Amino acid sequence: MRRLAIILALLPCLAAQAAWADELVMFERSGCSWCERWHREVGQAYPNSSESAQAPLRVVSLDRARPGDLKNLGPIRFTPTFVVIACGQEKGRITGYPGAMHFWGLLDSLLERPAAC
């Protein structure tokens, strides 16, 4: 019974932490050859990576209206553009796709930055 009380007491904290987890948002446009290359070289492996556990991927098409929760981001002019979101704010971005090896290193650097929560 005591364990249940402790778990119930921690649930709001765990829910708040999950709500503020990092997210990787990939902005793409139809016909973007660099976006297609990223999907081939990185996209298939991303869901199984440790980076995905920290920052799940959301793909947003610039061919449609930007989702409301992303309207506060600065302009996205080039595709692909990868934006790491933490605490509802932009933590950093990668503009363009520099190849798989460089992408992973740049992403890891962004994920290591402290969030301004």
Residues 89-109: pLDDT tens digits? 999 999 999 999 999 999 999
Q: What is the mean pLDDT of residues 41-50?
A: 96
Cα 15 to chain center, whole Å? 18
**The CATH number of the domain where 58 resides is what?**
3.40.30.10
Range of the domain at 78: 20-112
Q: What is the mean pLDDT of residues 5-29?
A: 60
Q: Is 11 a domain residue? A: no
Q: What is the C-alpha separation between 56 and 114, in angstroms, rounded?
A: 17
pLDDT for 65 beyond 70: yes
Domain count, the chain: 1
Of all residues in the chain, the percent with pLDDT exceeding 70 is 82
Q: Is 6 a domain residue? A: no
Q: Is 13 a domain residue? A: no
Specify whether the CB–CB gap between 23 and 70 falls below 8 A: no
Q: What is the C-alpha separation between 48 and 46, in angstroms, rounded?
A: 5
* CA-based max dimension of the chain: 57
Beta bridge partners of 24: 57, 84
pTM flag (> 0.95): no
Residues 67-79: pLDDT tens digits? 999 999 999 999 9
